[in-house]
A = this chain, B = another copy of it.
């Protein structure tokens, strides 16, 4: 279990600078085990798998969350994460536009709002944070 947590935590920090600690902190009052599962299972088991690059994984997650339209805060976080592992801003905008075909235009419009927030956060951190 420690291996899974350590591996997930390292990956989470690479995608979301300092994000592993922040995620655990945010859920710690109510559901600390949910944070642990996200680190161990989500990142330590799934994202850490070989066979698909981290860049492709973040692109896929941005696509899915944009189409679902039910997880705006997480979409912002994963767009920031996508930038950190080498997805370009242009590619993010492209995948969002494409999601209008599968999740509808309102979902794509709301994903543009998420991208605006994520791009501004990346701007605030400086260019070195984009992979």
Contacts and interface: CB of A to CB of B under 8 A. Distances in A.
Interface of A: 27, 29-31, 33-34, 37-38, 41-42, 45-47, 49, 51-52, 56-57, 59-71, 73-74, 90-91, 93-110, 112, 115-116, 119
Counting every copy of the chain, the complex holds 6
Contacts of A52: 90-91, 94-95, 98
A58 B107 CA distance: 18
Contacts of A61: 63, 98, 101-102
B69 A67 contact: no
B41 A112 contact: no
Nearest to A41: B41
Main secondary structure of the interface of A (DSSP, over half): helix
Nearest to A96: B31
Contact of A42 (B29, B73, B101, B107): B101
B38 A112 contact: no
A45 B56 contact: no
Given A34-B108, A46-B100, A52-B90, 6 more contacts: A34-B109, A41-B41, A49-B97, A60-B63, A65-B106, A68-B103
